[in-house]
Structure 1
Amino acid sequence: MPTTFKKVAAILNPTAPHMVGDGFRVHNFFPSGYKIKMDPFYLLDYNAKLEFSPSNTPRGVGVHPHRGFETVTIAYHGAVAHHDSAGNSGVIYPGDVQWMTAASGILHKEYHEESYSKKGGPFQMVQLWVNLPAKYKMTAPKYQSVTNSEMANFELPNQKGKIEVIAGDYQGVKGSASTFTEIELYNLRLKAGAKANLETPAHFNTALLIIEGSITVNGTEKATTNQMVHFAHEGNAITIEASEDAVVLYLSGDPINEPIAQYGPFLMNKPEELQQAIEDYNTGKFGYLEE
């Protein structure tokens, strides 16, 4: 297959922020912020870097249900503690990833970790909702906790940075997380002047989110902190050059191409499945989790 640049469809600015609970001030890039095709990724909320003042009461989001998809939380600054109705709990620190497969249903809550909350400081996170194919929507919930220290890495030549492979495969380096569909999810941590080359099939839905710094894409398109680069379904290669030290989240995935029915924290295929999810939640089938 000949290599051609994957065409940039748009450079997207962050949308107006809104609060999720009292602990997450997010810009939604999709599906409500921009009507872009990113299947199997359904939602991307980005908590751009923000200083939180010290608080003795941790800010966050109280108990809420999920069914039919996965939440992927990527930490850049700050720390988040989480608990669920299956008895799982933990903390994600800068560089860590929490991959929660809600699937058949779970109750969940997430808050600023206690010691971080008491001292305050910069906070920056991404949360993705990754859709599940119909045949996997009612599988058992599970967690994958990927700490930064154990994350798979590809070192760039001449100490110009590294590519953290969260999921997928980058030049033989396999990502730490297992997925239900073909997904490439990387953090590119680039020194000024570093270049990185990416390849992905033309039909994959693909985007870059610039977490820090500024970059040039495919030699011509420039993007800077908090912008998203969305790609068209043309071409299969992407080059990134860091104009300054940069951190870039790369996401690319094979679309599931199934009907979507969504209501609040439920992501199913048919309206009647949403009704069943609501009924199951109201009758306690998602378990119990103390506020």
Structure 2
Amino acid sequence: MKKLIEKIIPRPARPGMVGDGFRVYNMIPGAGISQQRISPFLLLDFNAEYDFGPSERVRGVDVHPHKGFETVTIAYKGSVAHHDSTGNSGVINPGDVQWMTAGDGILHKEYHEKEFSKKGGPFEMVQLWVNLPKKDKSTPAHYQAITAGQMGKVQLPDDAGIINVIAGTFNEVKGPADTYSPVNLFDIKLKKGGNAGFKTPAAHNTAMLVINGNVEVNGEKAAEHSFILFKNEGEEINISASEDSVLLLLSGEPINEPIVSYGPFVMNTQAEIHEAIRDFQSGKFGVVD
């Protein structure tokens, strides 16, 4: 049975800025989709392609904390550098993914990679926040650097395109990301006239972002930059592309626990939020040079 579409949401009229280096359209929860409705996903910011121009001053987001969830940054165009209080640092380039588990608390900063910043050029990214179950919110902070070459790859029949499996499994090909609850995250690249079919559990909260191109999803047209929210009915998703297209499909088993969030902290109770703030203020998250 086809997975029914609840709504197709066009890109918001105006982007917002995260720091001075990320010009984003907020789809979760900004498109009126509550965090409980789309659990385990908490946030999706889409930096649609944009050229910030060359700059000697590196743009980005300065040091800030996180606790209780994971941040997933997917690079489509441009390069992002990262540095955190566990000592991890690195650069993600097109096709790479940075999967950071904030767990019991971390400080980090994200910014345009220095040489990319000097040259400028097209910049296109997605950042997704994934909640952690209560039992895992105190896990030590850590980081998964996933390169384009490490992705699970499925070549579609008839040269229709390719699926990069970031997390979960597609056609028995497993993605490299380790997750704390069942999550599927697929980077879909379809050629003009290409088709692809997916099956996701009916109970999974499921959505899709059209990053580039125009497609038809289960018989309904979805324009570039639109966001598709599926109902929790049916399992089959069929996509056909009227032009070369790039999509991000996300599905996950809901975490049926309370969500209490305050800025960069996502916990289960207000008391835990106050504790997170105290931990941050007392320096328990470490330091970033």
Over residues 85-115 of structure 1, what are the superposed CA-to-partner deviations in whole Å (9 max), with x where a residue is unaligned? 1110000001100000000000000100001
SS in 1 for 2:272: helix
* Cα-to-partner distance string for 1:15-49 (whole Å, 9 max, x where unaligned): 23110000001111111332242100010011111
Query: Aligned residue for 2:5?
Result: 8
**How far 1:123 sits from its partner (Å)?**
0.5
Superimposed CA distance per residue, residues 41-88 of structure 1 (whole angstroms, 9 cap, x where no aligned partner): 010011111111100011000000000000000000110000001110
1:156-182 CA-to-partner distances (Å, cap 9, x unmatched) read: 012221100000000100011010000
Quick check: 1:209 aligned with 2:209? yes
Cα deviations across residues 115-170 of structure 1 (Å, max 9, x unaligned)?
Answer: 10000011110000000000000011111111112211011012221100000000
Q: In structure 1, list runs of 5 or more residues that go unmatched.
A: none
SS in 1 for 2:143: strand
Q: Distance in 1 between matches of 2:59 and 2:163?
A: 31
- State the alpha-carbon separation in 2 of the partners of residues 285 and 14 from structure 1: 39
TM-score (norm 2): 0.97
Query: Could you tell me which amino acid in structure 2 is paired with residue 35 of structure 1?
Result: I
Letter in 2 for 1:239: N
Task: For 1:129 and 1:254, locate their aligned partners in 2 and report how far apart those are by CA, in whole Å.
Answer: 15
For the 8 Å contact 2:48–2:125, the answer to whether it is kept is yes
Report the equivalent of 1:18: 16
Give, in whole Å, the separation in 2 of the partners of 1:281 and 1:80: 25
Query: Partner of 1:256 in structure 2?
Result: 255
Q: Partner letter of residue 249 of structure 1?
A: L
Aligned residue-pair number: 286
1:179 alignment counterpart: 179
TM-score normalised per structure 1 = 0.97
The within-5 A match list for 1:148-159 is 148-159=148-159
User: Could you tell me how far apart the structure 2 residues matched to 1:211 and 1:32 are?
Assistant: 17
Q: Which residue of structure 2 aligns with residue 247 of structure 1?
A: 246
Q: Does structure 1 residue 194 correspond to structure 2 residue 194?
A: yes
1:99-110 superposed matches below 5 A:
99-110=99-110
CA RMSD of aligned residues (A): 0.8
User: Partner letter of residue 279 of structure 1?
Assistant: R
CA distance, structure 2, for counterparts of residue 209 and residue 135 of structure 1 = 30
CA distance in 2, matches of 1:27, 1:208: 14
Deviation at 1:13, TM superposition (A): 1.1
Give the match for residue 47 of structure 2: 47
* Secondary structure of residue in 2 paired with 1:115: helix
Distance 1:17 1:43 in 2: 15
Aligned to 2:272: 273
SS in 2 for 1:226: coil
**For 1:194 and 1:9, how far apart are their aligned partners in 2?**
24
CA–CA distance in structure 2, aligned partners of residues 72 and 209 of structure 1: 15
Alignment-derived partner of residue 146 in structure 2: 146
Q: Deviations over 1:216-247 (max 9, x none)?
A: 111x2011211111101111111001111111
Extract unaligned runs of 5+ from structure 2: none
SS in 1 for 2:104: coil
Q: Report the Cα distance in structure 2 between the residues aligned to 1:32 and 1:154, rounded to whole angstroms.
A: 32
Asked if 1 retains the 8 angstrom alpha-carbon contact of 2:7 and 2:228, the reply is yes
Q: CA deviation at 1:194?
A: 1.0
Single out whichever of 278-287 and 151-160 deviates more from structure 2.
151-160
Structure-to-structure mapping, 1:46-65, within 5 angstroms: 46-65=46-65
1:69 aligns with 2:73: no
2:286 aligned partner, one-letter code = G
Residues 76-91 of structure 1 mapped to structure 2, 5 A cutoff: 76-91=76-91
**Residue identity (%):** 56
